[in-house]
Amino acid sequence: MSAASVSTRVYPAGMLNTLSQREVARLQDISRGDLAEMLRRCALAVLTSGNESDDAEALLAKFSDFEIEVQQVNRGLRLQLSNAPGSAFVDGQIIEGIREQISSVVRDLVYFDSEIRGDPHHDLNTSEGITGAVFEVLRNARGFIPEVEPDLVVCWGGHSIARPEYEYTKNVGYQLGLRYFNIITGCGPGAMKGPMKGATIAHSKQRKKLGRYIGVSEPGIIAAESPNPIVNNLVIMPDIEKRLEAFVRLGHGIVVFPGGVGTAEEILYLLGILLHPANADNPFPLVFTGPAASKSYFEQIDRFIRLALGKEVKSRYRIVVDDPEAVGLYMKKGLEKVRRYRIRTNDAFYFNWLLKIDRAFQEPFEPTHENMRALELHRDLPRHVLAGNLRRMFSGIVAGNVKPDGIRAIRERGPFEIQGEAEIMESLDDLLAAFVRDHRMKLPGGGQYEPCYRLVR
Residue-wise pLDDT for 413-452, tens only, equals 999 999 999 999 999 999 998 988 888 875 545 557 788 9
Give the pLDDT mean for 89-112.
90
Confidence tier at 37 by pLDDT (50, 70, 90) = confident
% of the chain with per-residue pLDDT over 70: 91
Distance of CA 184 to the CA centre of its chain: 9
**Res 3: pLDDT:** 46
Per residue in 340-380, pLDDT (tens digit) is: 999 999 999 999 999 999 999 999 899 999 999 999 999 99
Residue-wise pLDDT tens digits, 309-318: 999 999 999 9
Query: The pTM is what?
Result: 0.91
- With a cut of 90, say whether residue 302 has pLDDT above it: yes
CA distances (Å), origin 217, targets 240, 311, 327, 399 = 8, 32, 25, 15
Q: How confident is the model at residue 70 (pLDDT cuts 50, 70, 90)?
A: confident
Among 240, 237, 215, which residue's Cα sits nearest to residue 226?
A: 215
- Written as one letter, the residue type at 100 is E
Instruction: Give 5-84's CATH code, choosing from 3.90.550.10, 3.40.30.10, 1.20.58.390, 3.30.1850.10.
Output: 3.30.1850.10
| Number of residues assigned to the chain | 457
Sign of the dihedral through C-alpha 9, 13, 19, 25:
negative
**In sequence order, which residues have a C-beta less than 8 Å from that of residue 59 and are 6 or more positions away?**
44, 45, 48, 51, 53, 223
Q: What average pLDDT does this structure show over 384-406?
A: 91
CATH match for 134-359 among 3.10.20.600, 1.10.8.420, 3.40.50.450, 3.30.230.10? 3.40.50.450
Q: Provide, rounded to the nearest whole percent, the portion of the chain with pLDDT above 90.
A: 65
CB count within 10 Å of CB 21 equals 8
pLDDT digits (tens, 9 = 90+) for 155-208: 999 988 899 999 999 999 999 999 999 999 999 999 999 999 999 999 999 999
Which residues face 78 on adjacent strands? 71
Q: What is the pLDDT of residue 31?
A: 62
Average pLDDT for the chain: 89
* Domain boundary assignment for the chain: 5-84, 134-359, 363-456
Dihedral pair phi/psi, residue 132, rounded to 5°: -60, -40
